[in-house]
Amino acid sequence: MRRTRALSLLLSFGAIGAHATAQAVVLEDAALRTTGQLLYSDFGGDVALNGSRLFVALRDAERVQVFLDSGSGYVLETELVAPDGVDGDGFGSALASDGLTCVVGAPGHDAAGVDAGAAYVFRLGGSGTWGYEAKLLASGAQPGDQFGRSVDTIGERIAVGAPFTDGPGAADQGRVHLFDRTGAPWSGVGSFTGPDSVGGDQFGYQVALAGHLLVVCAGTATAGYPFSGAAYAYRDLGLGPTFEHKFTPPVLGEAFAHQIDIGGGTGSERVAFGMPYGELDASGVVCVYDRVLGAWDAGFVCDLPYGAGLEQFGSSVALHGDRLVAGTIFDWTWSGFSGSAAVFEKNGGAWSLQLELLPSDGQYDGIFGQSVDFDGTRVVVGAPQLSGGSNPPPSFERVYVYDQLPTRVGTAVCVGDGSVTPCPCGNDSPVGYDMGCENGFNRAANLAASGSASVAADDLFLSVENMTRTPGFPGYPVQAQLLAGTSLLSGMTLGDGLLCAGGMVQRIGAPQLATSGGLAWWGPGLALPAGWAPGQTLHFQVFYRDPTLGGCGAHVNTSNALSVTFTP
């Protein structure tokens, strides 16, 4: 099932929680794209996973494509369209699927008035094909309501948000409508607004359903700060939804709960809110709350290490158990604002950043991370504006599939936070992030690995991020070299960083890929040509050029080191 989403690093409200460790880069297993007449269709603006099927919204083409996982790849199974739809309806602006049901929002549909909105329900039949089942309209609909701006479904229930519905003397107060599958086949069973909602709150901007829990975002409610947003939890035990709790933003900024997802933790319910305009500079945060023993906790605030203004971390969010995936649409990882998605994991009482999902063909203005979904195994990430280069045509909007998230490998050592050896000119990196010394961009390179330490599998994948950027010059990527030493030094000065890889040192060489955004990677297929053996421990480190005038002025810096003990 899908709802719209987001993500980041975790700090406890009122007390600092566990820092995120350096993340390991993961590349996709498959990439889907549009062709021909469907170019520039906003393919991937929204995505939803349901069993072996992947639903992709093409909002500018007024359709949803359904892909089936055949076991050897994803094949287009069918397209869903509104039987009475026209251009401008916004069919696909919201999308959700669960079980045999798929519901699609069309907030610009004009049947009940200009932009009054509608939602369309499709059902999987016994023959294995999807068919149109019902059109949902708001009771008392008025022009401009935008019913269908948000949707979710679970079992035989659908929730639809109409955030621009006017209340008595309260323009754009917002409202949520509930439908159950009865003999109609879908019938409205009630609608409501927030217990303290007023004009301009846009209650229903996002909705999420799970079990007996319904969570609603009021996108521009004032909760300590103008347009900060708020969210409301309702519980329905069969007698209709009952208000349970109000969530308010823990940091200054706008659009709290701009994205929502629900996912249970161990012995609890859990909800995540993306706040892409959080921190006032739009660097973005994600807030995660647990409901334990009948009460919602104070929550955690999540952000990314070295989050910069306008990156919009939390643009999308997906939650499943103790793992959280969130998109950052303007993360500068490749060249320009190509985007990324981060994976956090909760172990014990602490969350930590584990992985960063990237496209292997990332480009400027891809807004990779505009949408995400996660079913516990697979992650899907939408990049609806991938340009293929700095000049827009040809555009191939894409959706990336990560079939199974890998595990982290190795232990970060010899970090540049001053805990063992100070960096050369006071350019220590923040404590707890397992990075090197800071460079001229006031960032520190972090080396991490995924895959396995098996020599036979030879699937070790090493990646480094946050090296010096070369902005505006995609043809001039960062220059970096990977070292592998048989012993670990305590950290001796090397340029603006610390040299940690010692003993017999192998120079693995230039990366398989390096970008002007400070990203590089090596592997897989490293162990066999290098002659690494089971039982051997190697200490990897990256050194790279820093052409800026910042740092200590040496124009060379290093990452943290990473110790890996190889197995058969």
Cis peptide bond prior to 393, omega within 30° of 0: no
The pLDDT assigned to 8 comes to: 26
Among 134, 109, 105, 108, smallest CA distance to 122 is for 134
DSSP class of residue 497 equals: E
Say how far apart CA 396 and CA 412 lie, in whole Å: 38
The pLDDT assigned to 194 comes to: 96
Is a pLDDT exceeding 90 seen at residue 514?
Answer: no
Is a pLDDT exceeding 80 seen at residue 97?
Answer: yes
The pLDDT assigned to 375 comes to: 94
Look up the pTM and report it.
0.89
The pLDDT assigned to 346 comes to: 87
Is a pLDDT exceeding 90 seen at residue 427?
Answer: yes
Is a pLDDT exceeding 50 seen at residue 392?
Answer: no
The pLDDT assigned to 182 comes to: 84
The pLDDT assigned to 22 comes to: 58
Q: Which domains does the chain have, with CATH numbers?
A: 9-405 (2.130.10.130), 411-565 (no CATH)
Query: Which has the minimum average pLDDT: 43-47, 124-128, 189-193?
Result: 124-128
The pLDDT assigned to 336 comes to: 63
Q: Is residue 93 exposed (0-12), middle (13-18) or buried (19+ Cβ within 10 Å)?
A: buried
pLDDT band of 387, cuts 50, 70, 90: low
Is a pLDDT exceeding 80 seen at residue 344?
Answer: yes
Overall average pLDDT of the 278-298 stretch: 85
Mean pLDDT value across the chain: 86
Q: Which residue has the higher pLDDT, 97 or 184?
A: 97
* Cβ-Cβ contacts under 8 Å for 239 (sequence gap 6 or more): none
Overall average pLDDT of the 111-126 stretch: 95
Query: Which has the minimum average pLDDT: 35-39, 345-349, 479-483?
Result: 35-39
Overall average pLDDT of the 550-567 stretch: 92
Is a pLDDT exceeding 50 seen at residue 389?
Answer: no
pLDDT band of 444, cuts 50, 70, 90: very high
Give me the residue label for tokens 């996973």.
49
Q: Which residue has the higher pLDDT, 121 or 23?
A: 121
Q: Do the Cβ atoms of 133 and 124 come closer than 8 Å?
A: no
Is a pLDDT exceeding 50 seen at residue 5?
Answer: no
Is a pLDDT exceeding 70 seen at residue 45?
Answer: yes
Q: Do the Cβ atoms of 561 and 542 come closer than 8 Å?
A: no
Is a pLDDT exceeding 90 seen at residue 350?
Answer: no
Percent of the chain whose pLDDT exceeds 90? 59
pLDDT band of 1, cuts 50, 70, 90: very low
